[in-house]
Amino acid sequence: MASALQAWLEQINAHESESAVLRGGEPGHGHGHGGGGARSQVRQDNPDRTDDPVLNALYEVVDASTTVLDVGGGAGRYAIPLASRAKHVTVVEPSGGSVEELESIASERGIANITVIQSDWDTTKVEQADIVLCSLVLHHVSDVEPFIRKMGRKAKHRVMAVEMMEFPGMIESPFYQRVHDSNPTPLPAIADIMRVLWEMDIYPDLEMFPSTPPVLETDKVGALEYLRRRIAVVEGTPEDDRLQSAMTELLQETPGGLVVKGVKPQRLGIVSWRP
Ligand SMILES: C[S@@+](CC[C@H](N)C(=O)[O-])C[C@H]1O[C@@H](n2cnc3c(N)ncnc32)[C@H](O)[C@@H]1O
């Protein structure tokens, strides 16, 4: 049987090659630098929210003396609210668009205790911090062992990785199936991360959070634009016709937004350990 690290690498490589074929060799959108995602996964949440159980769990380990290093922090979904409680937050983020968004939100809110380093984690030089946070990034990283080891070296107290129990991209998979007549190789999820960590002799805690409905978007125009981008569909093609009929069949309006029928509610968890 392949090692967990080998299986992880093969899974991400298979996913990336399928995605590249669909895009005619273009890099993917949404699963990689730049992020993007269904509303329940990667939206730019209100920094003052009090109803985000993951953020509330992070608040429990952060006070005015805590330094945080947010690896692949995107546009600051956690970094911005954490900065209001922490001593300092450093974000390492390669995507120029996300860095720009984060810096503009920080300046609008007058936040002075965030430093943003525009770089890949693999190559960046950065000081240690009390907490190293990494949310929804690991499933993009094929060579994950050095990435995780570096997080351990940079954490004085704890590494905290936020990930999904159900595989990332599950919400769009019924559309992918109808448009491309195949199922994508899933990206790794929490169970795969646990196997990789155990193989690395790291035995983490796992805190799971309540499930959330599979909300894709709030409106149909936004949902179509999101799905075209995520599953590589060009407007006006036969694939686009199939996508739009799948949307008619699969999307259900709910007070929380457009839910995808047949997709299980999604759960986030924090996988954490002392370095
Ligand atoms: C799905 S987004 C998550 C963003 C943010 N952490 C959140 O939870 O909203 C994934 C992020 O990982 C970043 N990323 C991907 N590969 C990375 C790498 N090698 N080093 C650092 N960040 C990376 C992407 O640019 C993107 O911002």
- Domain residue limits at 25: 4-169+181-212+265-273
Place 251 in a pLDDT band, splitting at 50, 70 and 90.
very high
DSSP 99-127: HHHHHHHHHHTT--SEEEE-S-TTT----
Query: Per-residue pLDDT for 102 more than 60?
Result: yes
The answer to the question of residue 127 being in a domain is: yes
The answer to the question of residue 115 being in a domain is: yes
Share of the chain above pLDDT 90, in %: 82
The answer to the question of residue 195 being in a domain is: yes
Q: Is 60 exposed, middle or buried (0-12, 13-18, 19+ CB in 10 A)?
A: exposed
The pTM (predicted TM-score) of the whole model is 0.91
Query: Per-residue pLDDT for 33 more than 50?
Result: no
Give buried/exposed letters for 239-252 (b at 16+ CB in 10 A, else e).
Answer: bbebbbebbeebbe
Among 140, 187, 266, residue to substitute to test ligand 1 (most atoms within 8 Å of Cβ)? 140
Query: Per-residue pLDDT for 38 more than 60?
Result: no
Angular region, 110: left φ>0, alpha ψ -120 to 50, beta rest: left
* Cα 121 to ligand 1 centre (Å): 9
pLDDT digits (tens, 9 = 90+) for 132-146: 999 999 999 999 999
* Cα 196 to ligand 1 centre (Å): 19
The answer to the question of residue 110 being in a domain is: yes
174 CB near ligand 1 (under 6 Å): no
39 CB near ligand 1 (under 6 Å): no
The answer to the question of residue 20 being in a domain is: yes
- Residue ranges of alpha helices (H) inside the chain are 4-22, 39-42, 53-59, 79-83, 96-108, 144-154, 173-180, 190-199, 220-230, 238-250
Q: For the chain, what is the mean pLDDT? A: 91
Nearest to 214 by CA among 175, 182, 186, 184: 175
Model pLDDT, residue 40:
40
Query: Per-residue pLDDT for 25 more than 70?
Result: no
Neighbours of 28 (CB within 10 A): 19
The answer to the question of residue 19 being in a domain is: yes
Q: What is the DSSP letter of 50?
A: S
71 CB near ligand 1 (under 6 Å): yes
Model pLDDT, residue 26:
63
More confident residue, 45 or 114: 114
Model pLDDT, residue 35:
36
CATH number at residue 55: 3.40.50.150
The answer to the question of residue 238 being in a domain is: no
Question: Strand, helix or coil at 246?
Answer: helix
Query: Per-residue pLDDT for 9 more than 50?
Result: yes
| Ligand 1 atom at minimum distance from 134 CA | 6
The answer to the question of residue 104 being in a domain is: yes
Query: Per-residue pLDDT for 43 more than 90?
Result: no
pLDDT digits (tens, 9 = 90+) for 260-272: 999 989 899 999 9
Number of domains, the chain: 1
Q: What is the DSSP letter of 171?
A: G
